[in-house]
Chains A and B, each alone.
Chain A
Amino acid sequence: MNTLPLLLYAAAGVAYAIHFARRDQAVGRTATTLLLFGALVHTFVIGMQTMEVRHVPFANPSRAVSTFVWLLTLSYLYLELTTDERSMGVFILPVIVGLQAIPAVYPGVEYRDAVLDSPWFWIHVSSLLFAYASFGLSGILGLTYVLQFKEIKKKHLGYFYTRLPSLQVLDVMNSRAVAVGWVFLTFGVVVGAVWTAQARGIDPTDPNLQAMSLDDPKIFVAMLTWGVYSFAVVARRTLGWSGRRAAWLSALGFAFAMLNFLAINYFVTTSHTFY
């Protein structure tokens, strides 16, 4: 079911690449249309899965990835449509296509652990996925900032100079994406902690709950990610860490987030296995 959105995203990716290389506005509009259409189909897929299991599908890692891709696509479309700036598409689409390939190849089955019946579960996961989507955007914005910065600083105005937005625009967008992501990350982590405390009262023998501590790699890396972004937010305001430093921080933070979301989530965690 995740294959059709994947194909549409891939087609949009190709169109974004052609648009970027040739700076052809008509191809750019086609790219946006394809992406919008992909997001629409993806919404439909997620809607069906939600009806099937009666909650948004994200207890299973593959389905969580699909939901994350959907949020990332929507966030990117929001950014593109509000700023009228399409050049970032060529950077974000490989992330979208690459991640969407996971649920398309391994659809996974959504089982339901009794402990997930709480509304806290829904709030916890959706705010974290949204935070990751924001970080995804900020990571890409950071990368493009560095590309643009290099060309201007080294006085070698080339391929990216003419195609990417101004440094200021990239920096401001990056700072907003990080701030939004940080708020949702913090909220999601706090909700997770509160919910764990509550759940312990209900079923103290659940092995997942037993493992809920900083010793668990998933929780540890999540806290590390939170640390990186907290530093990014504070350093921008107090140390003047904007521009390239902020860009690198957001790329680093996103690397941690993806490490957690993919590698650790699939293979290592002992506390978040609900499938």
Chain B
Amino acid sequence: MHLFLLGVSHRTAPVDLRERLDFSSRDLSAAAEAIAHRPSMSESVVLSTCNRSEIYVASSDPAQAREELVGFLSDYHHVPAQAFQPHLFALENSAAVAHLFRVAAGLDSLVVGEPQILGQVKDAYQTAAGKQCVGPVLSNAFRWSFGVGKRVRTETALGEGAVSVSFAAVSLARKIFGRLKGRRVLVVGAGEISSLTAQHLRTQGVGEIVITSRTQANAEALANEVGGLAVPWEGMIGALGSADIVITATGSQRPIITRAQLEASHGYRRGTPLFIIDVAVPRDVDPAIAEIEQVFLYNIDDLQSIVEENLSRRKAEVERAESIVNEEVTKFMAWQRSRTAVPTVVALRQRFEAIRRSELQRLEGKLGSLPPEARARVDEITRLIVEKLLLEPTEQLKALPDEETQAAYTEAVNRLFKLTDEDSLDDTRGKRSESPKQS
């Protein structure tokens, strides 16, 4: 059984094509189910985010699976196959596993190290599992990938540091104020960044968010969006006095907050910090304000350069993350191989056990006269001998370096011990129930 992967991602396909092949807006579980029930495939997980649509399947015939999946994508999304075929990428077995691990670790993301992808991989797996579309091949690989994602996040700084302006602003606020609970926020001018920042601050549990804009309707719209309070433009300076965090984003050509205004409104709260985020261009806040001891003033360029620095720091971590992924792929493949040795090991044990039993049976006449304790001892000793004889071969079989060697050894063991001879296994009565149905 092979692990086969077919998909498009931001690396291979433009956004309009990705949109057309996107599953997330449709019923993911139905898609997974439809795929898993095709003749050449026995398991399937569909991973679909705005940056990728990937189908992972277990198949005994990857070439056939590819053909069927292309047909499926074309039918399901009503897109002619030739429109997306050049943008498809297909991977098999260890390459597919490596890809899955890289995706889970955030290495394949548009913004390297972004944290959402691991949750999306988990969701995709859960959805497929909920429809009984996963078996040993995909469930082992996916479960392993969750561990890889976690490991990369804890052992490297790949996911560290804000990589968007609004998150950079929020993380700064947290370094200034600690917990943001109860902090008062003033938003001056409703724009995209100010709205995003206000939303992030809201999720951090800030207290009141006061919004003001020259256009009252804009202020009210944003107030509705983030659960804030819209105040008229004239109330801006008053609101400034009680704010801990100020976000300015107006289209004004001249500074709307001057040092004199701020000192007048903030005069009575000397000593408490004030964090001003000025994302407007041209700037809304007089730069001289930064000279006030407890005022921290960041403009859009400052935030942008933090974001860039964080991005480059993440990039520096990519190599370490990649080596973790490679290491995990090797470990996983070795583990898989040790699992493929399981049927042979089981058969070998059963064979030995059968011989032991039949020999004991044969000697029944001579052993019959022994007291029960001595008989139990004989049974125990013979069992231990068999265990000892098998210990080393078992370990060796599980630790073979690659599939070819594995096949050769399995073949040799099968021949040497006549393991394929079904009759010889009859005596075992399924004592060991490890599933031989492994890829």
Contacts and interface: CB of A to CB of B under 8 A. Distances in A.
B273 A236 contact: no
A152 B175 contact: yes
B386 interface: no
Interface string A220-252: 000000000000000010011111110000000
A157 B306 contact: yes
Contacts of A167: 175-178, 273
B294 interface: yes
A163 B315 CA distance: 20
A244 B293 contact: yes
Contact of B298 (A155, A169, A239): A155
Interface in B168-207: 172, 174-178
A167 B274 CA distance: 12
Contact of B176 (A166, A239, A245): A166
B201 to A, nearest CB: 15
Nearest to A171: B273
A166 B271 contact: no
A interface bracket (residues with beta carbon within 8 Å of B): 20 to 34
B309 interface: yes
Residue picked from B290, B294, B305, most chain A C-beta under 10 Å: B294
A146 to B, nearest CB: 12
Nearest to A170: B178
A243 B176 contact: no
A161 B175 contact: yes
A54 interface: no
Nearest to B295: A153
B175 A242 contact: no
A145 to B, nearest CB: 12
A243 B271 contact: yes
Residue picked from B174, B269, B293, B298, most chain A C-beta under 10 Å: B293
Contacts of B269: 240
A274 B272 CA distance: 47
A242 B271 contact: yes
B300 to A, nearest CB: 12
B296 interface: yes
A148 interface: yes
A148 B175 contact: yes
B254 interface: no
Contact of A166 (B174, B272, B305, B309): B174
Contacts of B290: 153
A155 B302 CA distance: 7
A243 B175 contact: no
Contacts of B294: 242-243
B38 interface: no
A165 interface: yes
A157 B305 CA distance: 10
A168 interface: yes
Nearest to A157: B306
B175 A166 contact: yes
Nearest to A153: B296
Contact of A236 (B161, B271, B296, B306): B271
B270 interface: yes
A241 B302 contact: no
Nearest to A161: B175
A241 B273 CA distance: 12
B293 A243 contact: yes
A166 B179 CA distance: 9
Interface in A142-157: 148, 152-153, 155, 157
Contacts of B293: 243-245
A165 B176 contact: no
A241 B294 CA distance: 10
A240 B270 contact: yes
A86 B269 CA distance: 31
A152 B176 contact: yes
Contact of B273 (A155, A165, A243): A243
Given A148-B175, A166-B178, A242-B271, 4 more contacts: A152-B172, A155-B306, A162-B160, A167-B176
Interface of A: 148, 152-153, 155, 157, 161-162, 165-169, 236, 239-245
13 contacts: A152-B176, A153-B296, A157-B309, A161-B175, A162-B160, A162-B161, A166-B177, A166-B178, A167-B176, A240-B270, A241-B271, A242-B271, A242-B294
Interface of B: 160-161, 172, 174-178, 269-273, 290, 293-294, 296, 298, 302, 305-306, 309
